[in-house]
C-alpha cells in the first residue's frame, strides 16, 4: 500500500496511510494537540541553547496516525528504537485502540519505558494499565502536560531525561490557574495590570479563549486579536478559561465581569453551555448583558480554506458555529488558521500554531466596536432592519419560513422592540398587513416594478460611492457579469438627477421591514439560490448599500427561510 507524506497541521481521517518521515530518537512523545507538541519543541530548543545536554526527542501528532498501516510503520521505524515513549490520548483506549495496543506490545517486548496518559486532566485507569512506568511517574508526567506552559514543558523534558539516567535537575509541575486574565509579555497579570493598558472612557471588549492556548504558549492569534481591538478603539480584557462549563472558570469570569463590565464579549471557545432543543441555560458570558460575538480560531489550514468551496470544515462548523448558536452567539468569522510556523529539525516535526489573518482580525475588531457603540446607544435611537426571506423569488413566497409563520413572527419582534424602548411607528397589525405592504412596493418580481409604489430609493451617485469602496476584483466581477448599474432592472432613470435604485423596504419609525433581494435575474433558480460563486447584481448590492447609507442601520436581522433570526 502506498504511504503519503504527512502534511503539517493536517488531520487525517484514517482513509490514507501516512509516513511521518522521522528517524529514531531516544524519547517519543505523541499527542493529538499540535499546540502541546509545538511547546515541547520550543522548550527543547531553549534548553539546548542554555547548554543542557538532552536525549534526542521525536514528536508526533496522533491525528496523523489514524490508519493502521501508519501505526505499523511508525511502531517499526520509530517506537521500537526508543528508550521512552509518552502517549497522550484524548478519548481514551476506545479512540485509538490499535495504536495503543501496538505501541504497548512493542514497548513490553523490548523493555521500553511507556507512559500511556489521558489527553485531558482526568485519570484514566484503562490507559494506565498499558503503561510500563509506575503510577507516580505517570501522574507527574500528566501534571506537567495538564498545567502546561514553557516552564513545565522544560521541566518535563528534564524529568524524562532523568528517567533515562541523565543527571539533570528538574522541578515539580507548577499549577496554572483554571481561569484568569492574560496580557502579552506579562507573567500572571491581574486585572489591575491589564487596566494599565486601557484608554479612558473607551468601551471594554472581553476576549475569552481556552486555557489550553496559555498552556501551550500558542498565543499568536490571541495577541493579534488584542492588538486589533486596541486599534479599533476598544479596551481589551483577555481572559483564559478551562471551559465555560467549568465551575471555577465560570466563577472567575463572573468576578472579572463584575469588576470590569464589558460592552461586548468576543468568545473564542467552542461548544455550548445549553443543550440543543432544551431551554436556554444561562452561562457565564450572559452575566454582563451585552452582545457576545463568536470568533473562530480554525482547526484547519489557511490554504485548504482558501482553495476549498465549502468554507470551514465540518468539525469547525459543529464546534465553533452551530453549537455556540445554541447559546445565542453572534457569529463573526474565522480569524486564524493552523499553519506551519517552522520545521523543527531537532524533533523532526513541524511546529504548527494558530496563524492570524490580519484583515479578518480587523473586520471582527471593527464589528465588536460597532456592537459596543450600539450597546451604549439608547434604544430609542437605534435603527434596526428586519429583512424577510424570499425563497423562491416569487411574490407568493414573501417571508417564506418552513413550518413557521415568519410574517407573524416579525410582527411579534416589532412588538418586542417597541416594548424594549425602540421607536416603532405605524407598524403592521398582523402578518397579512406586513406582506400586503411589501407587495405594494417593489419586490423581486421586477417586471411589475412600474405598477408598484416606491417609498425608498438610493441615488445612483450614492451607490457609486459605496460601490467604489468595494475591492477592485469584486467591482470588476460584478461589472463583467451584470454590466453597468444603469442596466439593472431596479434602476429608475431620473428626470433631473442621475436616477436611483428602487429599494424593497418600508419604514416603521426607526425600524425598517425589507425583502431579501434576488441574487440574479433570468438565470437558473437553483444557481441563484445556492451557488457561492455567483456574483450578485447591482440591485442586490444597492439594497445593502441603502441599509448602510440611506437608512443608516445599526443592525440587520435576517428572518431566514427557516423562520430563524440571523443577526
Q: What is the pLDDT of residues 11-32, one digit of tens each?
A: 454 567 899 999 999 999 999 9
The answer to which of 86-100, 120-134, 275-289 has the lowest mean pLDDT is 275-289
| Residue 241 clears pLDDT 80, i.e. is over it | yes
What nine digits make up the cell of 345?
Answer: 529539525
| Residue 53 clears pLDDT 60, i.e. is over it | yes
Q: Specify the pLDDT at position 7.
A: 55
Q: Measured at the alpha carbon of residue 9, what is the angle toward residues 6 and 15, in degrees to the nearest 5?
A: 50
Report in angstroms the alpha-carbon separations of 272 from 250, 327, 401, 507. 13, 6, 26, 36
Q: Measured at the alpha carbon of residue 367, what is the angle toward residues 364 and 373, in degrees to the nearest 5?
A: 145
| Residue 394 clears pLDDT 70, i.e. is over it | yes
Mean pLDDT value across the chain: 92
Report the predicted TM-score, pTM, of the whole model to 2 decimal places. Answer: 0.82
Residue 5 host element (H or E): strand 4-5
In angstroms, the CA 32 to CA 61 distance is 5
| Residue 250 clears pLDDT 70, i.e. is over it | yes
383-407 average pLDDT score: 88
Count CB atoms within 10 A of the CB of residue 237: 27
Q: Are strands 84-89 and 27-31 parallel, antiparallel or unpaired?
A: parallel
Beta-bridge mates of residue 115? 86
CA-based Rg of the chain, rounded to a whole angstrom?
Answer: 28
Beta-bridge mates of residue 336? 297, 356
Beta-bridge mates of residue 85? 28, 114
In angstroms, the CA 125 to CA 146 distance is 17
Amino acid at each position: 500500500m502506498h504511504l503519503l507524506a504527512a502534511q503539517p497541521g493536517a488531520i487525517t481521517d484514517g482513509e490514507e496511510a501516512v509516513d511521518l518521515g522521522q528517524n529514531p530518537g531516544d524519547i517519543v512523545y505523541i499527542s493529538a494537540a499540535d499546540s502541546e507538541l509545538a511547546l515541547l519543541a520550543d522548550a527543547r530548543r531553549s534548553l539546548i541553547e542554555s547548554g543542557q545536554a538532552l536525549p534526542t526527542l521525536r514528536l508526533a501528532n496522533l491525528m496523523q496516525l489514524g490508519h493502521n498501516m501508519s501505526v505499523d510503520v511508525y511502531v517499526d521505524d520509530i517506537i521500537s528504537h526508543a528508550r521512552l515513549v509518552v502517549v497522550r490520548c484524548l478519548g481514551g483506549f476506545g479512540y485509538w485502540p490499535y495504536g495503543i495496543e501496538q505501541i504497548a506490545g512493542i514497548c513490553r517486548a523490548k523493555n521500553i519505558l511507556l507512559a500511556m496518559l489521558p489527553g485531558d486532566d482526568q485519570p484514566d485507569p484503562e490507559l494506565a494499565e498499558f503503561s510500563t512506568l509506575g503510577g507516580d511517574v505517570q501522574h507527574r508526567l500528566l501534571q506537567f502536560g495538564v498545567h502546561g506552559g514553557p516552564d513545565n514543558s522544560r521541566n518535563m523534558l528534564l524529568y524524562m531525561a532523568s528517567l533515562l539516567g541523565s543527571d539533570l535537575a528538574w522541578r515539580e509541575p507548577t499549577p496554572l490557574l483554571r481561569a484568569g486574565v492574560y496580557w502579552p509579555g506579562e507573567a500572571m497579570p491581574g486585572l489591575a495590570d491589564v487596566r494599565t493598558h486601557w484608554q479612558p472612557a473607551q468601551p471594554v471588549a472581553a476576549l475569552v479563549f481556552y486555557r489550553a492556548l496559555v498552556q501551550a504558549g500558542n498565543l499568536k492569534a490571541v495577541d493579534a486579536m488584542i492588538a486589533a481591538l486596541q486599534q479599533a478603539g476598544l479596551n481589551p480584557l483577555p481572559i483564559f478559561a478551562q471551559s465555560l462549563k467549568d465551575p471555577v472558570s465560570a466563577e472567575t469570569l463572573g468576578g472579572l465581569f463584575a469588576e470590569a463590565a464589558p460592552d461586548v464579549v468576543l468568545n473564542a471557545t467552542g461548544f455550548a453551555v445549553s443543550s440543543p432543543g432544551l431551554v436556554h441555560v444561562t452561562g457565564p458570558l450572559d452575566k454582563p448583558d451585552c452582545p457576545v460575538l463568536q470568533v473562530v480560531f480554525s482547526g484547519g489550514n489557511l490554504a485548504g480554506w482558501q482553495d476549498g468551496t465549502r468554507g470551514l470544515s465540518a468539525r469547525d462548523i459543529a464546534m465553533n458555529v452551530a453549537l455556540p448558536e445554541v447559546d445565542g452567539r453572534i457569529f463573526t468569522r474565522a480569524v486564524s488558521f493552523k499553519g506551519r510556523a517552522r520545521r523543527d529539525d531537532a524533533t523532526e516535526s513541524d511546529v504548527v500554531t494558530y496563524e492570524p489573518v490580519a484583515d479578518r482580525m480587523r473586520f471582527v475588531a471593527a464589528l465588536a466596536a460597532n456592537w459596543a457603540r450600539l450597546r451604549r446607544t439608547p434604544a430609542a435611537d437605534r435603527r434596526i432592519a428586519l429583512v424577510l426571506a424570499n425563497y423562491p423569488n416569487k411574490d407568493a413566497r414573501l417571508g417564506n419560513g418552513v413550518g413557521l409563520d415568519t410574517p407573524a413572527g416579525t410582527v411579534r419582534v416589532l412588538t418586542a422592540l417597541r416594548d424594549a424602548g425602540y421607536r416603532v411607528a405605524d407598524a403592521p397589525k398582523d402578518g397579512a398587513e406586513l406582506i400586503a405592504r411589501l407587495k405594494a412596493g417593489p419586490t423581486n418580481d421586477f417586471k411589475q416594478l412600474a405598477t408598484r409604489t416606491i417609498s425608498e430609493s438610493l441615488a445612483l451617485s450614492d451607490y457609486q460611492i459605496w460601490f467604489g469602496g468595494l475591492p477592485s476584483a469584486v467591482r470588476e466581477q460584478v461589472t463583467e457579469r451584470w454590466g453597468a448599474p444603469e442596466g439593472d432592472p431596479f434602476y429608475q432613470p431620473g428626470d433631473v438627477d442621475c436616477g436611483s435604485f428602487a429599494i424593497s423596504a418600508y419604514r416603521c419609525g426607526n425600524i425598517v421591514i425589507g425583502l431579501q433581494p434576488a441574487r440574479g435575474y433570468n438565470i437558473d433558480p437553483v444557481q441563484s439560490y445556492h451557488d457561492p460563486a455567483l456574483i450578485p447584481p447591482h440591485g442586490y448590492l444597492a439594497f445593502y448599500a441603502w441599509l448602510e447609507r440611506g437608512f443608516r442601520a445599526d443592525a440587520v436581522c435576517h428572518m431566514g427561510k427557516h423562520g430563524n433570526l440571523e443577526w
